[in-house]
Amino acid sequence: KKWVYFFEEGNANMKALLGGKGANLAEMKRIGLPVPNGFTITTEACNAYYENGKNLGEEVNSQIFEYLKKLEGITGKTFGSKENPLLVSVRSGSVFSMPGMMDTILNLGLNDDTVEGLAALTENPRFAYDSYRRFIQMFSDVVLKVAKYNFEHALEAAKRNNGLTYDTDLTVDHLKALVKTYKDIVMKETRKPFPQEPEIQLIMAVNSVFESWDNPRANIYRNLNDIAHNLGTAVNIQEMVFGNMGDTSGTGVAFTRNPSTGDSAFFGEFLLNAQGEDVVAGIRTPKPISELKEIMPEVYKQFIEISKKLETHYKDMQDIEFTIERGKLFMLQTRNGKRTAPAAVNIAVDLVEEGLIDEETAIMRLEPDQIDQLLHPTFDEVDLANAKEIAKGLPASPGAACGQVFFSAEDVVAAQAKGIPAMLVRQETSPEDIEGMVSCVGILTSRGGMTSHAAVVARGMGKCCVAGCGEIKVEEYAKQFHVDGLVVKEGDYISLDGNNGRVFLGKIRTKEVELTGNFGKLMAWADVHRVLKVRTNADNPRDSKVAVKFGAEGIGLCRTEHMFFEEERIPVVRRMIVAKTIEARKEALDLLLPFQRADFIGIFEAMGERPVTIRLLDPPLHEFLPHEDKDIEALAKDMKISAAELKSIVNDLKEFNPMLGHRGCRLAITYPEIYQMQVRAIFEAVVDVVKRLDLKVKPEVMIPLVGFEKELEILAPLVRKTANEVLEEHGLQIDYKVGTMIEVPRAALLADDIAKHAEFFSFGTNDLTQMTLGFSRDDAGKFMPEYRKKEIFEKDPFQTIDQKGVGKLMKMAIELGRAQRPDIKLGICGEHGGEPKSVEFCHAIGLEYVSCSPYRVPIAKLAAAQAAI
**Catalytic residue IDs:** 453, 829
Q: Which is nearer to ligand ADP, 323 or 397 (CB)?
A: 323
In whole angstroms, the minimum distance from the beta carbon of 266 to ligand ADP comes to 18
Q: Which is nearer to ligand ADP, 190 or 336 (CB)?
A: 336
In whole angstroms, the minimum distance from the beta carbon of 664 to Mg ion comes to 7
Contacted by 831, from ligand ADP, Mg ion, none: CB < 5 to 8 Å by type: none
* CA-based nearest residue to 273, from 331, 325, 333: 325
Distance in angstroms (rounded) separating the CA atoms of residues 682 and 322: 66
Q: Which is nearer to Mg ion, 236 or 333 (CB)?
A: 333
User: Among 25-33, 100-108, 483-491, 792-800, which window interacts with ligand ADP (CB under 6 A)?
Assistant: 100-108
DSSP codes, 211-246: HHTTSHHHHHHHHHTT--TTS-EEEEEEE---S-SS
Are 434 and 457 in contact by the 8 Å Cβ rule? The answer is yes
In whole angstroms, the minimum distance from the beta carbon of 656 to Mg ion comes to 19
Show the binding pattern over residues 314-333: x = contacts ligand ADP (CB under 6 A), - = does not.
-------x-x--------xx
Is residue 556 within the footprint of Mg ion (CB under 5 A)?
A: no
What SS3 string covers 12-81?
A: HHHHHHHHHHHHHHHHHHHCCCCCCCEEEECHHHHHHHHHCCCCCCHHHHHHHHHHHHHHHHHHCCEECC
Which residue among 104, 439, 451, 770 contacts ligand ADP (CB under 6 A)?
104
Q: Which is nearer to Mg ion, 460 or 764 (CB)?
A: 764
Show the binding pattern over residues 738-777: x = contacts Mg ion (CB under 5 A), - = does not.
-----x--------------------x--x----------
Are 3 and 66 in contact by the 8 Å Cβ rule? The answer is no
Beta bridge partners of 41: 4, 235
Is 211 annotated as a binding-site member? no
For residue 813, the one-letter residue type is A
Is 670 annotated as a binding-site member? no
In whole angstroms, the minimum distance from the beta carbon of 29 to ligand ADP comes to 13
Distance in angstroms (rounded) separating the CA atoms of residues 394 and 236: 40
Distance in angstroms (rounded) separating the CA atoms of residues 674 and 680: 10
* CA-based nearest residue to 550, from 175, 855, 162: 855
Contacted by 240, from ligand ADP, Mg ion, none: CB < 5 to 8 Å by type: ligand ADP
Distance in angstroms (rounded) separating the CA atoms of residues 713 and 668: 12
Q: Which is nearer to Mg ion, 543 or 767 (CB)?
A: 767
Distance in angstroms (rounded) separating the CA atoms of residues 101 and 235: 12
Is 530 annotated as a binding-site member? no
Length of the chain: 869
Q: Which is nearer to ligand ADP, 241 or 351 (CB)?
A: 241
User: Among 101-109, 415-423, 476-484, 577-585, which window interacts with ligand ADP (CB under 6 A)?
Assistant: 101-109
DSSP codes, 615-657: EPP-S-GGGGS--SHHHHHHHHHHHTS-HHHHHHHHHHH--SS
Contacted by 249, from Mg ion, ligand ADP, none: CB < 5 to 8 Å by type: none
DSSP codes, 566-615: STTTHHHHHHHHH-SSHHHHHHHHHHHHHHHHHHHHHHHHHHTTSEEEEE
Contacted by 104, from Mg ion, ligand ADP, none: CB < 5 to 8 Å by type: ligand ADP
Distance in angstroms (rounded) separating the CA atoms of residues 840 and 847: 10
Show the binding pattern over residues 123-152: x = contacts ligand ADP (CB under 6 A), - = does not.
------------------------------
Which residue among 40, 89, 140, 333 contacts Mg ion (CB under 5 A)?
333
What is the biggest distance separating any 2 CA atoms in the chain, rounded to whole angstroms? Answer: 106
User: Among 142-150, 261-269, 328-336, 370-378, which window interacts with Mg ion (CB under 5 A)?
Assistant: 328-336
Backbone angles phi, psi at 333, to 5 degrees: -170, 145
User: Among 189-197, 232-240, 657-665, 682-690, which window interacts with ligand ADP (CB under 6 A)?
Assistant: 232-240
User: Among 98-106, 126-134, 474-482, 576-584, which window interacts with ligand ADP (CB under 6 A)?
Assistant: 98-106
Q: Which is nearer to ligand ADP, 87 or 341 (CB)?
A: 87
| Count of other CB atoms within 10 angstroms of residue 383 | 16
Is 765 annotated as a binding-site member? yes
Show the binding pattern over residues 391-410: x = contacts Mg ion (CB under 5 A), - = does not.
--------------------
Is residue 36 within the footprint of ligand ADP (CB under 6 A)?
A: yes
What proportions of the chain, in percent to the nearest 5, are helix, strand and coil?
50, 15, 30
Is 840 annotated as a binding-site member? no
Distance in angstroms (rounded) separating the CA atoms of residues 233 and 213: 7
Which residue among 29, 77, 91, 453 contacts ligand ADP (CB under 6 A)?
91
For residue 86, the one-letter residue type is L
Count of residues of this chain found to bind ligand ADP when the rule CB under 6 A is applied: 17
Is 835 annotated as a binding-site member? no
- To which H or E segment does residue 397 belong? strand 394-397
In whole angstroms, the minimum distance from the beta carbon of 27 to Mg ion comes to 15
**Helix, strand or coil, per DSSP, at residue 737:** strand
Q: Which is nearer to Mg ion, 321 or 599 (CB)?
A: 321
Q: Which is nearer to ligand ADP, 102 or 363 (CB)?
A: 102
Is 743 annotated as a binding-site member? yes
User: Among 27-35, 233-241, 262-270, 815-823, which window interacts with ligand ADP (CB under 6 A)?
Assistant: 233-241
User: Among 194-202, 235-243, 814-822, 861-869, which window interacts with ligand ADP (CB under 6 A)?
Assistant: 235-243
- Relative to beta strand 464-467, strand 442-445 is parallel
Q: Which is nearer to ligand ADP, 104 or 499 (CB)?
A: 104
Distance in angstroms (rounded) separating the CA atoms of residues 566 and 392: 32
| Of residues 275-294, those binding ligand ADP (CB under 6 A) | 276-277
Is residue 245 within the footprint of ligand ADP (CB under 6 A)?
A: no
Contacted by 764, from Mg ion, ligand ADP, none: CB < 5 to 8 Å by type: Mg ion
Which residue among 136, 209, 240, 842 contacts ligand ADP (CB under 6 A)?
240
Distance in angstroms (rounded) separating the CA atoms of residues 800 and 796: 6
Is residue 89 within the footprint of ligand ADP (CB under 6 A)?
A: yes
Which residue among 241, 254, 488, 679 contacts ligand ADP (CB under 6 A)?
241
Count of residues of this chain found to bind Mg ion when the rule CB under 5 A is applied: 5
Torsional sign, CA 544, 548, 554, 557 = negative
For residue 714, the one-letter residue type is I
Distance in angstroms (rounded) separating the CA atoms of residues 208 and 205: 5
**Residue ranges for the binding site for Mg(2+)?**
743, 767
**Residue ranges for the binding site for substrate?**
559, 615, 743, 764-767
**Residue ranges for the binding site?**
559, 615, 743, 764-767
Chain positions contacting ligand ADP, by CB under 6 A: 36, 89, 91, 103-104, 106, 238-241, 251, 276-277, 321, 323, 332-333
Chain positions contacting Mg ion, by CB under 5 A: 321, 333, 743, 764, 767
